[in-house]
A and B are shown apart, each in its own frame.
Chain A
């Protein structure tokens, strides 16, 4: 077991797969010589060389286009989009092109691309460099969407995403880069579409993603002091979505909370809530409660950003007040 930061786990996971598959390549802005603006790709150029780790112009459409074209010929490609907010300038490539080629061509083409991108708030960067945009991608048929919360999951889900034959958007959370965790020895390969119960409990289920997972866990600790036993689920993968794990948990706890960093409207928790309402309504003892960032652009000032994004306090207070 080695302890790694979430940041280092990114390069660790990519390196594991690059050693396994000599065809795997990566491209993006400032990823090679500079090691990435978040230093998530440090060391990769040295080990794998400039033909496999390639710097690009500031041309997000060209980046995703090149990734897609190469992938259609069978070469697996990792493309980095520096900040997830920038997905908006190349959304055509994601939403209209990669996502639809398999279907539109009657299965003639597939697109084994992983689009890695730094997502989420907490860095006081303001409204254009802090968004949680997983819901932008989740709503497109043909895209898979993953957002790990721990270094070990970064490695395992990275491997699973790279080995997946479909386009996967891989959200790395900016505010988790400095967090640390144990990485098991040897090759780590996880599975897409699997949520994980990260804390068992009996009184309520709290489903969370990425940065919201450690916050939900901390809130659960405080709830325990009050005698409330919260089960925390790390959703990990939005598409495919592991509804079984959530439904099984709700069957046990009878209460569901979602903790979402995305702005409220059409956040991933809305889909989870709707599925639980449809399929586990009679298990529920109370309304499903969504704890989200409000429907506003994110402010820059730390005081304001901290009010906007669900905090440990807000999760704790919301559950404590509503669980009845």
Chain B
């Protein structure tokens, strides 16, 4: 590959040739997934979509300070995996972790309150948007330094292996993460220790602002690297909840049976920018448009109608979620700002922060 340094696309990524999504596979209507699981998937994608939209609104109202990274457009990946997991399974996420935390059952109000920096937040306001954790449900954290959490995910998988449980660890990360050393250390380590861990690359085609194909040596940044670690190359349509669910169920089942790790690359796209108010102008307009047309939610809505779920049932789900998001917002807004008494707690496991006598 030679690079033409005068190529205008290198200066302005929005001039690059767009990467259009693959069309939905019509055969996916016929995947062997019970209708109750599919309705649950619908509820899940609705929760994530509506929550993230509200988070965005609250950000624009300056109620969410700092930063936040939304999963708008990427909901099917989180929903599909969550539906295929058991409650005791472990989950790890990146700073783009609202979806995975909610998918693992964290309370919407507490998550929203955490984004608002309130005392009633999931982390008492001490972690914020990028560090959502719900240990009670084995959601073991959201990590904001690229790569590290793949290594940490091996640890919960190792723990399950040592304790002889059949818990599987599922670890989400982005396409950009496949270029950091920790990714490669983690995959090799997981394979040689035969750990029950499923690594899930949410390939949304961009790291922050740079298109992944400019910075990865291979077209599929995760899947094409899998063989180097003795793993199968798996690419899935990350905008189709059913397709994700099938691949997730398979990888998780195999890990649960002791067959070792898997690496799944789910191709998807974020509807908005990387974080905060990033308008994402570095993306070609027709690319954005093509992916908006492949929005997982209306697609899935249509599929469920075709499969015989009444429109009334779907709008009931949608409205129920809307009501819960409203309640969560009220809960969050009503929370107090944390007081000074929280500043010096929880540095150590005993709850304190003393470093000297």
Interface residues of A (CB under 8 A from B): 25, 51, 54, 56-57, 59, 61-62, 64-75, 77, 92-93, 96-97, 101-110, 112, 141-142, 165-166, 193, 239-244, 275
B126 CB–A CB distance under 8 Å? yes
Q: Which residues of A contact B67 (CB under 8 A)?
A: none
B126 to chain A, nearest CB (A): 5
Q: Which residues of B contact A92 (CB under 8 A)?
A: 145, 147-148, 182
Given known contacts A71-B155, A141-B347, A65 and B140 CB-to-CB distance under 8 angstroms: no
Given known contacts A25-B162, A110-B349, A65 and B356 CB-to-CB distance under 8 angstroms: no
* 17 further A-B pairs in the complex, CB-CB below 8 A; given A92-B147, A93-B151, A241-B355: A57-B189, A57-B192, A61-B147, A61-B151, A65-B152, A66-B155, A69-B157, A70-B158, A72-B156, A73-B163, A97-B145, A106-B126, A106-B127, A108-B136, A109-B140, A141-B347, A242-B357
Q: Which residues of A contact B355 (CB under 8 A)?
A: 141, 239-241
In the bound complex, CA of A147 to CA of B136 (Å): 35
Given known contacts A62-B154, A108-B135, A141-B347, A51 and B126 CB-to-CB distance under 8 angstroms: no
B152 and A104: CB pair below 8 A? no
Name 22 interchain pairs, CB-CB below 8 A, sorted by A. Answer: A54-B193, A57-B189, A61-B185, A65-B155, A65-B182, A65-B185, A69-B169, A71-B155, A72-B155, A73-B159, A73-B160, A97-B145, A97-B152, A102-B349, A104-B123, A106-B122, A106-B124, A107-B345, A165-B349, A241-B356, A241-B357, A242-B356
B140 and A72: CB pair below 8 A? yes
A244 and B154: CB pair below 8 A? no
In the bound complex, CA of A64 to CA of B150 (Å): 11
B135, B145, B347: the one within 8 Å of A109 (CB)? B135
B143, B192, B349: the one within 8 Å of A97 (CB)? B143
With both beta carbons as reference points, the residue of chain B lying nearest to A241 in the complex is identified as B356
With both beta carbons as reference points, the residue of chain B lying nearest to A56 in the complex is identified as B189
B346 CB–A CB distance under 8 Å? yes
Q: Which residues of B contact A141 (CB under 8 A)?
A: 347, 353, 355
A73 and B156: CB pair below 8 A? yes
With both beta carbons as reference points, the residue of chain A lying nearest to B342 in the complex is identified as A106
Q: Which residues of A contact B160 (CB under 8 A)?
A: 73
Q: Which residues of B contact A244 (CB under 8 A)?
A: 357
B141 and A109: CB pair below 8 A? yes
B348 and A102: CB pair below 8 A? yes
With both beta carbons as reference points, the residue of chain B lying nearest to A108 in the complex is identified as B135
B312 CB–A CB distance under 8 Å? no
With both beta carbons as reference points, the residue of chain A lying nearest to B191 in the complex is identified as A57
With both beta carbons as reference points, the residue of chain A lying nearest to B146 in the complex is identified as A92
B122, B124, B153, B188: the one within 8 Å of A57 (CB)? B188
A67, A104, A165, A239: the one within 8 Å of B126 (CB)? A104
In the bound complex, CA of A131 to CA of B90 (Å): 38
With both beta carbons as reference points, the residue of chain A lying nearest to B338 in the complex is identified as A106
B126 and A103: CB pair below 8 A? yes
Q: Which residues of A contact B135 (CB under 8 A)?
A: 72, 105, 108-109
B346 and A68: CB pair below 8 A? no
A240 and B157: CB pair below 8 A? no
B310 CB–A CB distance under 8 Å? no
B121, B141, B158, B188: the one within 8 Å of A101 (CB)? B141
B220 CB–A CB distance under 8 Å? no
Q: Which residues of A contact B154 (CB under 8 A)?
A: 62, 65-66, 69
With both beta carbons as reference points, the residue of chain B lying nearest to A73 in the complex is identified as B159
Q: Which residues of A contact B356 (CB under 8 A)?
A: 193, 240-243, 275
In the bound complex, CA of A70 to CA of B169 (Å): 12
